[in-house]
Amino acid sequence: MKYNKAIGCSVRECRFHSKNEPMCSLENIQVAKSTSSCSSESDTKCASFEKE
């Protein structure tokens, strides 16, 4: 699968994971807050995730 060298990803369960490299196959992703107020990386998520 073709991948985007600018978007690293280790979530192999995602439909858009390249499977051959730790990269995303999307041209861009949407990052969203997972809490009402962000103060660290764990307060964000990839909103482009789709279960494979």
Listed in sequence order, the residues at least 6 apart from 44 whose beta carbon sits closer than 8 Å to its beta carbon are 31, 32, 33, 34, 38
Place 1 in a pLDDT band, splitting at 50, 70 and 90: confident
Per-residue model confidence (pLDDT) at position 11: 97
Backbone φ and ψ for 6, nearest 5 degrees, come out as -85, -10
Place 51 in a pLDDT band, splitting at 50, 70 and 90: very high
In a domain, 19, yes or no: yes
Dihedral angle sign, alpha carbons of residues 44, 19, 26, 9: positive
Q: Where are the alpha helices (DSSP H) in 1-52?
A: none
Report d(CA 18, CA 37) in Å as an integer. 31
Place 2 in a pLDDT band, splitting at 50, 70 and 90: very high
| Predicted confidence (pLDDT) per residue in 11-38, tens digit | 999 999 999 999 999 999 999 999 999 9
Length of the chain: 52
Domain encompassing residue 23: 4-46
Tally of structural domains, the chain: 1
In a domain, 51, yes or no: no
